Structure 1
Amino acid sequence: MGRSRIVAEAGGAAVLAVLERGSGDRDATAMAVRYLLQLLADAAPGNTLEVRVPPFGAVQCVEGPNHTRGTPPNVIEMDAETWVALATGTLGWAAAVSADRVSASGSRASLDGMLPLEWNAGQ
């Protein structure tokens, strides 16, 4: 059985709440992060790159060489605030990397050109 999906109305409302009020509401932050990760995986299916936003979630995405065991060779990790900002376009990829807000390892560890994501504001 597959993972349950976050519906656009609920996910979009959570993203909007985090954008308006910050990441102080853990439940809204968790849903916003997971919803935006879900959208990334939908937009760039595959398992060449793993995007991690601890402690809320991680997805594998981007077509290319597959890995079968252990940590993927291409990993991006960041905090929830950075992920929401990148995914919604309030922070650019190059700015996040140069400010050390993103940890990226591997030759394909980049989200440049994949963000911002199209998301529903839940209204």
Structure 2
Amino acid sequence: MPARLRPADPADVAAALARHRAGTAERADLKLLVKHVLAVLETRAPGRSVEVRVPPFAAIQMIEGVRHTRGTPPAVVETDAATLIALATGDLAWADAEASSAVRASGERADLAPYLPVL
């Protein structure tokens, strides 16, 4: 089992976010921001009923509920790094992300709106 994600240093997050907003972010910045956001979400809503995937950077399981041990979990959320960062900062609403298909969410408890924004 992979090691749990940990929130990044606040100064590193602020610097990566500033580069992202300026349009100069590199892959390492996106990776840092995605892993930080997922670590915060995992802390805010521990559990194993929803899998949140942000390929190719990371995936977590969160939110209490039906636990799965193999295969696809009962709820899956998948998005890209830029969308996750926009959701995490409040620059994009969950409903808008779903409506535009920037987020693909299926299953019970797959609505992450109550846990966002986190930055």
TM over 0.5: yes
Bigger relative CO (Cα 8 Å, ≥ 6 apart): 1
**SS of the counterpart of 1:63?**
coil
Query: With structure 1 as the length reference, what TM-score do the two structures score?
Result: 0.85
Q: Is the 8 A contact 2:52 2:77 kept in 1?
A: yes
1:35 aligns with 2:36: yes
Deviation at 1:4, TM superposition (A): 6.0
Map of 1:71 onto structure 2: 72
Query: With structure 2 as the length reference, what TM-score do the two structures score?
Result: 0.87
Map of 1:103 onto structure 2: 104
Ranges in structure 2 where 5+ consecutive residues have no aligned partner: none
Aligned-pair Cα RMSD in Å: 1.8
Supply the distance in 2 between the matched residues of 1:51 and 1:76 (Cα, whole angstroms): 5
Of all paired residues, the percent bearing the same amino acid is 44
Ranges in structure 1 where 5+ consecutive residues have no aligned partner: none
Which portions of structure 1, spanning 4 or more consecutive aligned residues, are displaced by more than 4 angstroms? none
Deviation at 1:2, TM superposition (A): 4.2
* Match 1:18 to one of 6, 20, 26: 20
**SS of the counterpart of 2:78?**
strand
